Amino acid sequence: MMATEHVDTGKLDERVKVLGLTEQSPGVWAWEPVRTTWASVELSTRHNVWSVHGIGATGVILTMRQQALRLGNALEWRGRHCFITTIESMGRNHMKVSAALVTVSQCEDKVAGMKFPASMTEKYLRHDQLEPYAVNVLRHVLVTPKVIDLKPGQLVEVDGMPWPIAVAHTLDLWHNEYELERTVDL
């Protein structure tokens, strides 16, 4: 039996929005507030690894009252988008949520007629010295809500910039990750 951690409810002093993904019109998706709740929020001293295929981001740990919350939801704290990575019960009354502070990009798949929010992170940069010039291979990972289904080989616009989709990772239950790759001359 799990011991209940004592939580001083007076420390739940930050307003946090619980977000859900909704289809605004056919093919147009957006994060919308579902409710507002109180939480205790602290910045983590470690990076939160929110993308299996990308690099980590600044993490936050939120303590809040037990409520309906899934890994497919998101949170908004002080105007920042929080990508939920873990939800742990702290007994029957409270829960601890770990999240990564990410930037939400507006994306469009013109072939499928979809507009949707997603977050992008760096995978890594590779530099090739080719005679007589050099190129950088930019690799990013686009993390989308699960309902967004993109195909390798297609272009997806991220904040107005077209990126080719190189690889699709779709086995996670809550999110999909797409590796994007572009070669630029130096």
Handedness of CA 174, 99, 167, 115 (dihedral sign): positive
Q: Do 158 and 173 share a structural domain?
A: yes
Tens-binned pLDDT, residue by residue, of the chain (186 aa): 444 566 666 678 899 999 999 999 999 999 999 999 999 999 887 765 666 555 667 889 999 999 999 999 999 999 999 999 999 999 888 999 999 999 999 999 999 999 999 999 887 555 455 566 666 677 889 999 999 999 999 999 999 999 999 999 999 999 999 999 887 665
Query: pLDDT at position 92, please?
Result: 83
Single pTM value for the model: 0.84
Q: With helix as H, strand as E and coil as C, how does 8-22 read? A: CHHHCCEEEEEEEEE
Q: Do 166 and 143 share a structural domain?
A: yes
Query: pLDDT at position 12, please?
Result: 85
Q: 76: domain CATH number?
A: 2.40.10.270
DSSP result, 108-145: EETTTTEEEEEEEEEEEEEEEEETTEEEEEEEEEEEEE
Q: Do 151 and 138 share a structural domain?
A: yes
Query: pLDDT at position 2, please?
Result: 47
Closest Cα to residue 63, out of 32, 81, 88? 88
Q: Do 96 and 57 share a structural domain?
A: yes
CA 162 to chain centroid, in Å, comes to 20
- What distance in Å separates the CA atoms of residue 137 and residue 146, rounded to the nearest whole number? 27
- What distance in Å separates the CA atoms of residue 76 and residue 78, rounded to the nearest whole number? 7
DSSP lists the bridge partners of residue 180 as 140, 165
- What distance in Å separates the CA atoms of residue 163 and residue 88, rounded to the nearest whole number? 36
How far from each other are the two terminal CA atoms of the chain, in whole angstroms? Answer: 59
Q: Which domain holds residue 39?
A: 9-102
Task: Tell me, yes or no, whether 4 lies in a domain.
Answer: no
